[in-house]
Amino acid sequence: MIDLFGALIVGSKSQQFAAGLKLAKSVFGGGDIAVIGSGEHFSFAGASTAMGHSSNAYDIDDGHNITRAHPGTSFVGAILAAAYDKNVSRNEFFTALLVAYETTVRMGAALMDYYNYAHSSGTFGAVGVAAGVGRLFGFNKERLNNALSVAEFNAPLVPGIRSVEYPSMNKDGVPFGVMTGVLAILDTACGFTGNKHMLEADEEYQKAIMADDFNATVEKLQNNGDEQFCGIGVSTCCMVSNGDIFPCPGWQSMVCGNLNIDSLENIWKNSPQLNYLRSIRRKDIKECMSCSDKAFCSPCLARFANESPTGNPMEVAKHYCEVAKINKKIVEEWRQRHTIKRDN
């Protein structure tokens, strides 16, 4: 606590905090929550934002070995603001801090494992904010997991090493991590929904990936050559404000019709482009059909067309084959590391 409060107090002398105060005032408005180092009072979101700018300003707060980052700095201000807002007991405050610490370091370790590099504190701190504040706000398990998912998906995803290479107020991503965590809580309360944060999803993913028949199972799903290549023209098409209909997002070069001059039903049923695309079968792209990396790839007609000099959706873009090879290598290395751990 001395460490975290020390960081907040010293950080309140920084330019980063001055910027955070201005931002809190202009975006999040007033309230009755005190902010360390300022005589002003803010809403919960404003106070969290302001203190999120001071807590990591001088990098003097606690460090964590496994995540190679600063867990406490990323949630202390928001939890303080939430505790003040909800007028909770000292015990509840400390419990929320503990919950935030546990969640933050676990999420940090999970992210590092998943992406294979160390992230900035704000990346997983956003999830710690959501966990600690959600608890103080009385969120049930379902809402809490939702807020964690929203925070994890929307948090800054910055390699920690860039903080070192390019020192600035960006460093460690803490202020934006705090704001993401706070907004994840407020948006959850407004009905915004996410789905499975990494600590939930990881278990299923690990179980699936460790199965001996993982590759064979995925390949089997792609081995039926008579199946449609994908959902294009079967379950999906897109429209934009000028009425143009495209087969898929990112494929604006292929206009299949326009709603100002034709009905959606007629375009959907009779557009030559959509009829052509929905007639493509897996076996039509032979290279993908016989590919040994297909379990690690999501071949895509829109991306093939966009990469092809002639706009041909059947022309395999080699770049994606390289990506599939890298995916395969990462998964195989991960599996090997965890098989060794499991066998020990």
Q: In this chain, which of 79, 133, 182, 248 binds ligand SF4, going by CB under 6 A?
A: 248
- The secondary structure of 95-157 as a DSSP string is HHHHHHHHHHHHHHHHHHHHHSSPBPHHHHHHHHHHHHHHHHTT--HHHHHHHHHHHHHHS--
Q: Which is nearer to ligand SF4, 197 or 282 (CB)?
A: 282
One-letter amino acid at 219 equals E
**Three-class SS of 325-338:** HHHHHHHHHHHHHH
Cα separations (Å) of 271 from 8, 257, 263?
Answer: 62, 7, 11
Task: Count interface residues toward ligand SF4 (CB under 6 A).
Answer: 19
Q: In this chain, which of 157, 218, 321, 330 binds ligand SF4, going by CB under 6 A?
A: 321
Q: Which is nearer to ligand SF4, 134 or 299 (CB)?
A: 299
Instruction: Name the one range near ligand SF4 by CB under 6 A: 4-12, 193-201, 254-262, 318-326.
Output: 318-326
Instruction: Name the one range near ligand SF4 by CB under 6 A: 83-91, 171-179, 231-239, 257-265.
Output: 231-239
**Is there a contact between 16 and 169 (Cβ–Cβ < 8 Å)?**
yes
Instruction: Name the one range near ligand SF4 by CB under 6 A: 121-129, 131-139, 254-262, 314-322.
Output: 314-322
Smallest separation (angstroms) from ligand SF4 to the CB of 303? 6
Instruction: Name the one range near ligand SF4 by CB under 6 A: 30-38, 67-75, 101-109, 317-325.
Output: 317-325
Q: Which is nearer to ligand SF4, 32 or 322 (CB)?
A: 322
Q: Which is nearer to ligand SF4, 13 or 318 (CB)?
A: 318
Instruction: Name the one range near ligand SF4 by CB under 6 A: 15-23, 93-101, 134-142, 226-234.
Output: 226-234
Task: Mark residue 37 as left, alpha or beta (left: phi above 0; alpha: psi -120 to 50; beta: remaining).
Answer: left
Work out whether the CA dihedral 15, 17, 20, 26 comes out positive or negative: negative
Smallest separation (angstroms) from ligand SF4 to the CB of 220? 14
Place of tokens 């907040």: 8
Smallest separation (angstroms) from ligand SF4 to the CB of 295? 9
Residues 278-307 that bind ligand SF4 (CB under 6 A): 287-288, 291, 293-294, 297, 299-302
245 binds ligand SF4 (CB under 6 A): no
One-letter amino acid at 85 equals D
Q: Tokens for 103, please give them.
A: 């969640």
Q: In this chain, which of 211, 320, 327, 344 binds ligand SF4, going by CB under 6 A?
A: 320
Mapped onto helix, strand or coil, the DSSP state of residue 80 is helix
Q: In this chain, which of 232, 237, 267, 274 binds ligand SF4, going by CB under 6 A?
A: 232
Smallest separation (angstroms) from ligand SF4 to the CB of 259? 20
CA distance 298 to 62: 42
CA distance 114 to 108: 10
Q: In this chain, which of 138, 231, 243, 311 binds ligand SF4, going by CB under 6 A?
A: 231
CA distance 182 to 51: 12
Edge-to-edge strand ranges of the sheet holding 238-239: 238-239, 244-246, 257-258
Q: Which residues bind ligand SF4 (CB under 6 A)?
A: 230-232, 236, 248, 287-288, 291, 293-294, 297, 299-302, 316, 320-321, 324
